[in-house]
Amino acid sequence: MKLPFSLPLSAMLLAAGLSASEHHEVHWDYDAHGPAHWCDFSAVCKDGKAQSPIDIRTAETVSIAPNHIIKLQENVEAKSRIVDNGHAIQVDVENGGKISVEGIDYRLIQFHFHGRSEEKIDGKQYDLVAHMVHKSDSGNLLVVGVLFEEGDKANAILETVIQGVGTNGVINPGKLLPEHSDHYYHFMGSLTTPPCTENVRWYVMKEAQSATKEQIEAMRRFYDHNYRPIQPLNGRIVESI
């Protein structure tokens, strides 16, 4: 929707049936204010040339540049708060470990789940995805994607999250990572939600984690279709290790 800037805010809110105390900003979602309308919140969602998610075409990947290899240091007991942020189930962490690349440390600030994977591999959508959002001291972002596939083995950290929404506790974010966390795809992309900020370093783990049918269904009871459609690659190179 286009904002009628000529109207005072209170009139706008009244017209939308909202009171000023309820809503201070226009909200985005995956329905009426879904991905096709996100440009109303941030132009880069529509005009950006390096948006996420992407479909990773494995035959077109190149070997990773040595300076893009990450050092994961997330095997820590972190203070956590599991919340429903209105778009996804999210775990906010304190001292959640870090990832180092090109001499810069990116600290884990939160991880959250999408009810189906946003990124695809050779056109395949996975059953769930976790995004581990990291931030450097200067505000640059790095996201690690961990794909989940239905299997016999329940995932312990997923279970903790499903059972613990609304609670505080201690969590080891490193347990979210697959055993072979030294194999991944890397590319430059964006946040997959408004404001769709670009220059985000993406790392998508190649090895998917197993989650049971019950766990996938439990996660989808919170959010089922909170995934953004695939965005054009626009000549971006995807690296692989």
Catalytic residues: 87
The span of 9-17, 26-34, 125-133, 181-189 binding Zn ion (CB under 5 A) equals 125-133
With a CB cutoff of 8 Å and minimum separation 6, the contacts of 97 are 72, 73, 74, 75, 76, 78, 107, 108, 173, 174
- The tokens for 224 are 């089922």
Min separation Cβ 59 and Zn ion, Å: 26
Residue 66 neighbours by CB distance under 10 Å: 7
Nearer to Zn ion, 98 or 114 (CB): 114
Nearer to Zn ion, 97 or 145 (CB): 145
The span of 19-27, 130-138, 148-156, 182-190 binding Zn ion (CB under 5 A) equals 130-138
| SS3 at position 58 | helix
Residues touching Zn ion, count (CB under 5 A)? 1
What is residue 23's DSSP assignment? -
The span of 4-12, 20-28, 73-81, 129-137 binding Zn ion (CB under 5 A) equals 129-137
Report d(CA 24, CA 210) in Å as an integer: 40
Q: Are the C-beta atoms of 52 and 238 separated by less than 8 Å?
A: no
By CB under 5 A, residue 228 contacts Zn ion: no
- The tokens for 154 are 């329940």
Min separation Cβ 182 and Zn ion, Å: 23
Which residue type sits at 214?
E
For Zn ion, the binding residue among 131, 134, 186, 201 (CB under 5 A) is 131
**End-to-end Cα distance, the chain:** 43
Min separation Cβ 12 and Zn ion, Å: 30
Report d(CA 1, CA 20) in Å as an integer: 18
Min separation Cβ 148 and Zn ion, Å: 13
Site residues (CB under 5 A) for Zn ion? 131
